[in-house]
Amino acid sequence: MADVMLRPVDEADLAHAISSADGPLRITGGGTRTLVHVAGTPLDTSGLTGMELYEPGAMTLVVRAGTPLAEVEALLATENQRLAFEPPNFAPVLGRPGQSTIGGVVAANASGPRRLQAGACRDAMLGVRFVDGAGTIIKNGGRVMKNVTGYDLVKLLSGSNGTLGVLSEVSLKVLPTPEAEATLIFEGQTVSAAVDTLCDAMGTPFDVTGAAYVAAGKKTAIRVEGLSASVTYRQAELQRGVAAGFEVLEGASSAALWADIRDLAPFVGRTGDLWRASMKPTDAPGLIGALDDAGIGHDAILDWSGGLVSLLVTDGRRAGGELIRAHVAACGGHATCLRGDHRAYPPQSPGVARLEAGLRARFDPRGILNPGLMEA
Amino acid sequence: MEMPAPNAAILSRKTQIVERLRTVLPADAVIADAAETRAYECDALTAYRCPPMAAVLPANTAEVAAVLKICHEEGVPVVPRGSGTSLAGGALPTADCVILGVSKMNAVLETDYENRFIRVQTGRTNLSVTGAVEEEDFFYAPDPSSQLACAIAGNVAMNSGGAHCLKYGVTTNNLLGVTMVTMDGEVMELGGAHLDAGGLDLLGVICGSEGQLGVVTEATLRILRKPEGARPVLMGFDSNETAGACVSDIIKAGILPVAIEFMDRPIIEICENFAKAGYPQCEALLIVEVEGSDAEIDDQLSRISAIARTHNPVELRESTSAAESAAIWLGRKSAFGAVGQVADYMCLDGTIPVSTLPRVLKGIEALSEQYGLKVGNVFHAGDGNMHPLIMFDANKPGDLELCEAMGADILRLCVEVGGCLTGEHGVGIEKRDLMGDQYTPQDLAAQMAVKDVFDPAWLLNPAKVFPLDSSQQHRIAAE
């Protein structure tokens, strides 16, 4: 028996699908990022496609939510622009066949290495149109760079994973693709030496746009981007200062390295629980040390100067997950389980949990939008 | 501007309420004397004034929580106040409210250069945040023009911007975490020194909520290493269209300046008369600033100048020194003061898509003729944030009303071309009644639902942001 699947082709259709739903909906874009399987009728947004507006001279893109990310990126490339927040593609590491949509990226607030310097997906977001759980079409924000007109529901919807509303259209600030990039790379640092180096690099005036450490191979990587002469100058200054002895990767080899870090390529095809922990960079070595001390088998990729720790826990998964959550909670931050037998999203303090529940009750009074997905 | 009638039942209990507040705060932190509450009767939107019932000046989060708990129990509206520099009336009191001022809370709580953040009490002024870290060559990026006086509390409430947000973003992009007290006195932490939310992005919705969802008492802010240097280029054009096209071409060429400022002929003339900055007399001026080492700046400025030359500028002056940079910025930085010398003025801050600039400037010119009021435009051109300055005579009966009506028409024009009512000042009371021009009733209901959740009794700054008729049901339901 084939499952019923809803696949609206425009916003009115989406509103109708939601208002007439009589039970839970499982909302998907390309199906590449959802972390929790929700029981419910599939609501597939991949029919909501197309570009509404693209003004390169104003760095503004308005696009329907189901548009494939690859199409968005290809369109921007024709004008030598890009999504500055460098959205990751987790389809390979999560073993998903689908192709990522821009709405899915926004719903997950998915950001890559450049998040550290250029901001997260939510920071590039200028506006949203969405349908709430009652089937009401709502817009917030707009298409301009600066907008403080009323509450910022754009941020609230970014990263809400479809639990407050289903996105129909998103407006984004895009940025020029720089002329050149280069990565300074060094093999052999310990994790704490690497985090020290990365923090030092972030404290220079050289606009570092990537600061990562790959535990396998002990690779420390620092990226600069910009006008060609500027990249040459900045890499030399970094080598003279905080990155003495580092080698230089340029152009395509630099880009390939960061794509691997962004997509967690070193973890692809390997079994184990997958975690992402956000914390202060200088707290990251402590987490790695605690896993080592507890004899938990793991591999790690540190991004965001150490502030984002991606972990593949291969041995001691139950204890490892509990240790990660406890450690991160103690030092301030949050850990999300991308794959494994743990709750995906971290628990919140009672006050925050009450506010979150209150918002869900108002935006989705029937509790039909990805119910339970983000609850800890 | 209509405000709800004060609640007589609250006013009749003033003595008792003030006594209760005095049980949780030092005597000098509760102000109830009519002569002294006058100090809080308005913010920088001085056309509207109303002394509050009382004002309190707590010194820390615990005192804020104690005050809010009492006001919640007593059903007293609370209007949070940073430094009172709001141009939108965000801190305008009602006669039955308690003003909660954060001016005593200005401590630096933690500075961490490795992880690049500072945690401060929110009464601290914007500029003194940078002041606390500049020894180490760091700075806090958002730079509203009131930065000498404005408090971080107000910056968070209004999601303040500044001249350099093209590169660095506005407050929300530089705010990592807050300690917030909800109206019922509960203290909660949102975000922290780490990045992004583990659950819903409540921090994102707090920033810019105009003090209606909670009182933010402490903030964790991103600090950045100062660039090696910065220098501008000044360019003059014989039409607004040409200047607008030049901005678009610079951005399309892949150069991202830290600021692009635009001034039109009326402003150029007034500034030149006032500051004698040596500006050319022309239709439109651009000041484009870039950052980096000397060589990097030269490289960027020469590329920008090459683009400008394709638009036949009447003047093109690259700064080569700090003195030349100061001369270029002199006129722009004195623009508001210069206009203030020749007239009373009202400063709007609608944002428009940059491509609609010529159309909007023409529309403003037509409105200027229609209303008989002079307008000058200064403009953060890179991000479309306009600052039309409408000049009027406050002593002339009816002129303020005329000016407000014209301002509303300009803002409607901004919305009509795809922009918004306010780019960085906030809605407050000033743009409250225009919200229906930008948003549908459903759009506004969604925003008010958020307030229902955070402040079910609608006691925090209740008469702001939303048109009174649309918020009335929520406010009545709360009583």
Contact A133, A146 (CB under 8 A): no
Q: How far apart are CA B91 and CA B85, in angstroms?
A: 8
What letter would DSSP give residue A107?
Answer: H
CA distance B292 to chain A (A): 8
Among residues B219, B210, B217, B204, the alpha carbon closest in space to that of B68 is found at B217
Mean pLDDT value across residues A131-155: 97
Q: Pick from B204, B426, B452: which is nearest to A148 by CB? A: B426
Residue A265, amino acid = A
- In chain A, which residues have their Cβ closer than 8 Å to the Cβ of B423? 144-148
Residues A178-197: tens digit of each pLDDT = 999 999 999 999 999 999 99
Please report the pLDDT score of residue B477 as a whole number.
76
Q: Do B199 and A346 touch (CB under 8 A)?
A: yes
Q: How far apart are CA B189 and CA B203, in angstroms?
A: 9
User: Minimal Cα distance from A81: which residue of B?
Assistant: B254
Q: How far apart are CA A222 and CA A214, in angstroms?
A: 12
Burial (0-12, 13-18, 19+ Cβ within 10 Å), B82: buried
Please report the pLDDT score of residue B131 as a whole number.
98
A125 pLDDT band, cuts 50/70/90, is: very high
Q: Do A120 and B196 touch (CB under 8 A)?
A: yes
**The residue count for chain B:** 479
- In chain B, which residues have their Cβ closer than 8 Å to the Cβ of A112? none
CA distance A282 to chain B (A): 7
Interface size between A and B, measured as CB pairs under 8 A: 270
Mean pLDDT of chain A: 96
- In chain B, which residues have their Cβ closer than 8 Å to the Cβ of A154? 204
Please tell me whether residue B92 adopts helix, strand or coil conformation: coil
Tokens of B45: 């939107």
Q: Do A149 and B200 touch (CB under 8 A)?
A: no
CA distance B409 to chain A (A): 16
* Angle, in degrees to the nearest 10, between helices B335-342 and B265-275: 90
Q: Pick from B194, B442, B450: which is nearest to A359 by CB? A: B450
B178 beta partners = B190, B219
Q: How far apart are CA A12 and CA A37, in angstroms?
A: 27
Q: How far apart are CA B39 and CA B37, in angstroms?
A: 5
Residues A63-86: tens digit of each pLDDT = 999 999 999 999 999 999 999 999
A376 pLDDT band, cuts 50/70/90, is: low
Low-confidence ranges of chain B (pLDDT < 50): none
Choose the mutation target among A82, A105, A114, A151 for the interface with B, i.e. most B CBs under 10 Å.
A151
CA distance A248 to chain B (A): 20
What letter would DSSP give residue B385?
Answer: E
Q: Do A56 and B209 touch (CB under 8 A)?
A: no
What letter would DSSP give residue B245?
Answer: H
Q: Pick from B207, B382, B421: which is nearest to A152 by CB? A: B207
Q: Pick from B208, B251, B255: which is nearest to A152 by CB? A: B208
- In chain A, which residues have their Cβ closer than 8 Å to the Cβ of B421? 149
Contact A134, A164 (CB under 8 A): no
Please tell me whether residue A224 adopts helix, strand or coil conformation: strand
CA distance B221 to chain A (A): 13
User: B64 to each of B72, B121, B157, B165, B182, how far by Cα in Å?
Assistant: 12, 12, 16, 31, 10
Residues A29-41: tens digit of each pLDDT = 999 998 888 999 9
Percent of residues, chain B, with pLDDT higher than 90: 91
Choose the mutation target among B61, B175, B196, B241 for the interface with A, i.e. most A CBs under 10 Å.
B196
Choose the mutation target among B111, B113, B201 for the interface with A, i.e. most A CBs under 10 Å.
B201
Neighbours of A235 (CB within 10 A): 24
Tokens of B110: 């933690």
User: Minimal Cα distance from A152: which residue of B?
Assistant: B205
Per-residue buried b or exposed e for B381-410, using 16+ beta carbons within 10 Å of the residue's own CB: bbbbbbbbbbbbeeeeeebbebbbebbbbb
- In chain B, which residues have their Cβ closer than 8 Å to the Cβ of A359? 200, 449-450, 453
Please report the pLDDT score of residue A158 as a whole number.
98
- In chain A, which residues have their Cβ closer than 8 Å to the Cβ of B195? 115-116, 120, 278, 304, 307-308
Please report the pLDDT score of residue A2 as a whole number.
43
Q: Do B205 and A150 touch (CB under 8 A)?
A: no
Please report the pLDDT score of residue A1 as a whole number.
35
Phi, psi of A118 (to 5 degrees): -100, -5
Please report the pLDDT score of residue A3 as a whole number.
60
Tokens of B142: 């958002």
CA distance A3 to chain B (A): 30
Residues A323-332: tens digit of each pLDDT = 999 999 999 9
Position A126 pLDDT exceeds 80: yes
Among residues B469, B252, B247, the alpha carbon closest in space to that of B356 is found at B247
* Angle, in degrees to the nearest 10, between helices B240-252 and B294-309: 130
Please report the pLDDT score of residue B471 as a whole number.
93
Strands A25-28 and A41-44: parallel
Among residues B411, B398, B391, the alpha carbon closest in space to that of B338 is found at B391
Contact B53, B95 (CB under 8 A): yes
Please report where in the chains the tokens 């899915």 appear, as a residue. Answer: A104
Position A16 pLDDT exceeds 70: yes
Residues B175-205: tens digit of each pLDDT = 999 999 999 999 999 999 999 999 999 999 9
Please report the pLDDT score of residue A64 as a whole number.
98
CA distance B410 to chain A (A): 15
Strand order of the sheet with strand B54-56? Answer: B30-31, B54-56, B98-101, B78-81
Please report the pLDDT score of residue B91 as a whole number.
97
Choose the mutation target among B180, B195, B247, B415 for the interface with A, i.e. most A CBs under 10 Å.
B195
